[in-house]
Amino acid sequence: MSEDQQVIVVGAGPTGLLCALGLAQQGISVTVIEKQPGLQDSPRAIVYHWATLDGLARLDVLDDATSVGFLKQDYAYRVRRTGEVIGYGLQALEGKVERPYNLHLGQGALAQVVLTRLLTYANVRVLWSTEVNAVAQHEAGVEVRVRTADEEAVLRAEWLVGADGARSRVRTELGLAFEGMTWPERFVATNVRFPDEREGWAQSTFYVDDTYGAIIAKIDDSGDHGLWRYTYMEDSALPAETAAERYPHFLRAVFGEDVAERTELVALSPYSMHQRSATAYRAGRVLLAGDAAHATNPTGGLGLTMGLFDAYLLNESLGLVLRGRADDAILDVYADARRQAFVEKASPRAAANKQLLFHSSDQELLDQQLEPFRRMSHDPEFAAERLYFTKTLETPSLLAAG
């Protein structure tokens, strides 16, 4: 293994690949190290909020991602107990932002689009089936010890990006705690094909109920009926291995016997859920990004959203340092700003989203929580203001600030 890269990125998830792409586009030599033999395609992120799309466009992958996925605007809350349906849409942002729509596409498909583009750069290499198992650093650089099926080796670079997911080895090697909590419930994410378009259902529905609460969103438009994500919650004391046996019960309760009977289950994955953040996103020459830095329950789709915003700022700040245009103190700005955005904004919002969808038995509280969405359905100015929240999770360009 050669050792001539300026940056090593650990993890070929979407965050790591986008970090690598942004750096490669600035002429920086990058090696991505991934322990799996290829990209992962388990049911995880599918929604990329409107505010993240400008960054994908700057990296020149938005058109390709859109051609694989699709753009959409509609949302609905459905309250099981009362039958209330509240619809609203991103149309409220039209004329106010450049891209007033969300992108829907499986996380694996997004990663594939980014990887395809990344591999067109001569200054990039991706090492598959290669696991990082130790990290060391000194004044001038970092060293990572890696293991493949045949060998152990040490790779050196000037900087290291840990984008190796919620169980990050890089974070552990740095001795950084992952502060926060793990929820007592488990999420079960399924990919399904419904027998029809289910008249009246939005392409993203938040189904509000204590027992059968769910997030139901369309993943792709292709084929007769397309692929949908149906994610519900169960007690994590139940065995994860038998989640598939309990899934039909949930489906029947939400959609009725007839639809459930004719719905095809394509994939099912149980997940633990956390609200956690690393105590710091920088330690010397190592930066954390994406789930390696922070983990959230996925209600509202803020997990990878934060990873994308991390990648955009990391590309800018580390790029400036490597091209000799900024002092490395700018990396502290990256680390502090991204941590603050997660701890103060994304994590509390995701916890509130989960509470509303899955713990709604207090009718008075539920009414209070639904009131803004009722107003959004008929007051476009108010809706635009609320929908702007995702943009506030992005750290503005440091160049613009300085």
User: Which residues lie near ligand FAD (CB under 6 A)?
Assistant: 10-16, 33-36, 40, 43-47, 107, 131-132, 163-165, 169, 187, 189, 231, 271, 290-291, 298, 301-305, 307
Residue 173 C-beta: closest distance to ligand FAD, Å:
9
Residue closest to 17 by CA, chosen among 71, 74, 56, 51? 56
Residue closest to 49 by CA, chosen among 319, 258, 298? 298
- Comparison of 127 and 330: residue with beta carbon closer to ligand FAD: 127
Residue 35 C-beta: closest distance to ligand FAD, Å:
4
Residue 78 C-beta: closest distance to ligand FAD, Å:
18
- Comparison of 52 and 366: residue with beta carbon closer to ligand FAD: 52
Under DSSP, is residue 153 helix (H, G, I), strand (E, B) or coil? Answer: strand
- Angstrom distances, CA of residue 346 to CA of 56, 110, 235, 297: 20, 22, 24, 10
By the 8 A CB rule, do 4 and 158 touch? Answer: no
- Comparison of 304 and 366: residue with beta carbon closer to ligand FAD: 304
Under DSSP, is residue 54 helix (H, G, I), strand (E, B) or coil? Answer: helix
User: Which residues are registered as beta bridge partners of 288?
Assistant: 162
Structure-block tokens of residue 81: 């107990």
- Comparison of 46 and 86: residue with beta carbon closer to ligand FAD: 46
- Comparison of 10 and 366: residue with beta carbon closer to ligand FAD: 10
By the 8 A CB rule, do 49 and 102 touch? Answer: yes
Residue 13 C-beta: closest distance to ligand FAD, Å:
2
- Comparison of 291 and 326: residue with beta carbon closer to ligand FAD: 291
- Angstrom distances, CA of residue 132 to CA of 164, 169, 191: 9, 7, 31
User: Which residues are registered as beta bridge partners of 227?
Assistant: 220
Count how many Cα atoms sit within 13 Å of the Cα of residue 197 in the half-sphere of its side chain: 9
- Helix pair 303-322, 14-24: axis angle to 10 deg: 30
- Comparison of 104 and 326: residue with beta carbon closer to ligand FAD: 104
Residue 139 C-beta: closest distance to ligand FAD, Å:
24
Q: What is the dihedral of CA 370, 373, 374, 379, to 10 degrees?
A: 150
Residue 361 C-beta: closest distance to ligand FAD, Å:
24
User: Which residues are registered as beta bridge partners of 153?
Assistant: 146
- Comparison of 355 and 363: residue with beta carbon closer to ligand FAD: 355
User: Which residues are registered as beta bridge partners of 363?
Assistant: none
Residue 47 C-beta: closest distance to ligand FAD, Å:
4
Residue closest to 20 by CA, chosen among 108, 110, 126? 126
Residue 367 C-beta: closest distance to ligand FAD, Å:
27
